[in-house]
Amino acid sequence: MSAALILLFVLIYFFILISIAYITSRKSSAFAYFLGNKESPWYIVALGMIGDSLSGVTYISVPGKVYTSGLTYLQIVMGYFVGYFIIAYLLLPLYYRMNVTSIYEFLEKRFDKSIQKTGAIFFIISRLLGAAGRLYLAALVFQQFVLNYFSWKFEWTISLILILMLTYTIRGGIKTLVWTDALQSLFLVLGVVLSMGAIVSQLDGSIAETFQNIFKSRFFRVFEWDWTKGNFFLKDFLGGVFIAVAMTGLDQNMMQKNLSCKNMNEAQKNIISFSFVMFLVNIFFQFLGVLVYLYFEHKNMPLPLKADGVIFTDKAFPLLALQYLNVYSALFFILGLTAATFSSADSVLTTLTTSFYIDILHLHKNNKWSEQKKQMFRIAIHLLFTLLVWIVILMYDAMNNKAIVDTILMLAGYTYGPLLALYGYGIFSKKKIHSGWVITSCFAAPFILYVLSQNSWPFFYQIGNELIILNMLLVLFFMLVGRWVLKSSYEK
């Protein structure tokens, strides 16, 4: 498929997003930017959350990961499913009862502003690095298979993508993103289903025979029962529960859309329906990964390699779709990838701006500034985070050495563990605690776990996705020890 045709397809897709943004952002206010005027339909929010949760990582890296891990990623997905119910019936009622715009306002009301800023800092770091990783992966594919033909540099590619995102997010905010992300989620899921159909049509045998081959293949391995391994079932499942609670329920990027629903009941319907759809869609992505590698084996074709000779799993699906299958397969792939590219970072720019504006600077409480001055400052923050995403993506490009999905889950373990501890203590304990000790605990625990992860554990134990649980427990342990030691000075 020609690079020019792919580029034309992307530009048409972008024109659709711009049109939606124009319609939704007219006469937009700060209330519309932050909370969509509390008018977002729950089913549109649920659809949009799919694309934001999946993104380019799921679209490329999760199918690629099947080569080394089989279908064990579904162990994490099972944990996600349980975690979403915790969000629906524990966290959403809390946020709606407190009537917050940023979910980290809970930390201010439960503790103080310094703890609110600490929570926001962990979110900003995690989302900045995570969003950049997701966008990097998708942009890398566009660069290699499309824009290299026009002699474009990778820095230009990233700049172009971010500029396009700015044009439809900088004014409308959440009011616009609820609708654009819903459209992109629809295209992303459509892309994976059509890609699966395209691969099946190229393999010998009927659809039933193809699925029988999937079940018989060496990749069809869902559970890992060796407790010493990083992807042991219990580690992945429990890690998935806590990752879902943290990366969705304690994540301003995901919760801001939920808070834009008309009321709590609609937000809960959104989360529950989203949990079932997400489980099904992730099964599709895992089966897609098996189909990709079955195709390479069936056609006796070499897999893409890195410079050091290691199989580059993140490039297996793009290579197959864009170079070996027909033109329709390439279009299906581009359809999904384009949706993943834009949905992976556009809402993040808005929510990073929201958290910095409200949690760090507290500008929403500044009664001395005019609304116009606040809007100009908000735009400046939006542009600043766009620049930071650009810088982090170039850093990923310089140091990438493994599947991005692993990197993002690892980052979540280090950055969301302290958030889980803060919310867990804040919700289930009413006792006071010294803010300085809390902040020290939040930064000390991830550092200690990082040092331990770089060394051999007893009995050859490998830290997996339970990292987020260990991090949370270590922070809570430090907090409780500090409260006991310093009890006389800060507790009534």
Summarised one tens digit per residue, pLDDT across range 199-211 is 887 777 677 777 7
Sorting pLDDT into bands at 50, 70 and 90, what band is 491? very low
In this prediction, residue 81 carries a pLDDT of 92
Residue numbers of the domain that contains 218: 3-490
Quickly tell me which residue has 């962990």 as its tokens.
Answer: 122
Q: What is the mean pLDDT of residues 328-351?
A: 72
Q: Number of structural domains, the chain? A: 1
User: What is the reported pLDDT for 393?
Assistant: 85
At residue 254's C-alpha, the angle toward residues 249 and 256, to 5°, is 100
- 5 pLDDT higher than 70: yes
| pLDDT surpasses 80 at 454 | no
Mean pLDDT of the chain: 78
Give the mean pLDDT of 59-82: 84
Q: How confident is the model at residue 490 (pLDDT cuts 50, 70, 90)?
A: very low
Query: Looking only at Cα atoms, what is the longest distance across the chain?
Result: 75
Mean pLDDT within 414-442: 87
Backbone angles phi, psi at 310, to 5 degrees: -80, 145
Residues 23 and 19: their CA atoms lie apart, in Å, by 6
pLDDT band at 30 (very low <50, low <70, confident <90, very high): low
Whether the predicted pLDDT of 338 surpasses 80? no
Question: Which segment, 14-18, 204-208, 264-268, 430-434, is predicted with the most confidence on average?
Answer: 264-268
SS3 192: helix
Kindly write down the DSSP assignment for every residue of 314-364, as one continuous string: GGHHHHIIIIIS-HHHHHHHHHHHHHHHHHTTHHHHHHHHHHIIIIIS-GG
Ramachandran bin of 464, using left for φ above 0, alpha for ψ from -120 to 50, beta for the remaining angles:
beta
How much is the pLDDT for 464? 64
Burial class from Cβ neighbours inside 10 Å (0-12, 13-18, 19+) for residue 267 reads buried
Q: What is the mean pLDDT of residues 316-328?
A: 75
Q: Quick one: pLDDT at residue 291?
A: 86
What does the pLDDT average to over 2-25? 73
The whole-number pLDDT of residue 86 equals 93
The pTM of the full predicted model, rounded to 2 decimals, is 0.75
Residue 196 in contact with residue 41, Cβ under 8 Å?
A: no
From CA 57, how far away is CA 60, in angstroms rounded? 5
Q: Cα dihedral sign for 73, 78, 82, 84?
A: positive
Q: Is the pLDDT of residue 456 over 60?
A: no
Question: Are 319 and 304 within 8 A, CB to CB?
Answer: yes
242-247: average pLDDT: 84
Residues 408, 134 contacting (CB under 8 angstroms): yes
pLDDT at 492: 47
- How confident is the model at residue 78, as a pLDDT? 92
Chain-centroid distance of CA 199 in Å reads: 27
CB 174 within 8 A of CB 352: no
Considering only CA atoms, which of 346, 347, 355, 302 is closest in space to residue 324? 302
Phi/psi of residue 261, nearest 5 degrees:
-70, 160
- Of residues 402 and 241, more confidently modeled: 241
Q: How many CB atoms lie within 10 A of CB 2?
A: 11
Identify which has the larger pLDDT, 14 or 404: 14
Domain with 413 in it: what CATH number? 1.20.1730.10
Locate tokens 């900003």: which residue? 124
Amino acid letter, 167: T
Q: What is the CA radius of gyration of the chain?
A: 22
User: What pLDDT does residue 177 have?
Assistant: 73
pLDDT value at residue 349: 80
Mean pLDDT over residues 277-295, rounded? Answer: 86
* Residue of 217 and 55 predicted with greater confidence: 217
Q: What is the pLDDT of residue 104?
A: 87
User: Is the per-residue pLDDT at 82 higher than 90?
Assistant: yes
- CA 227 – CA 406 distance, rounded (Å): 19
Measured distance CA(218)–CA(409) in Å, rounded: 25
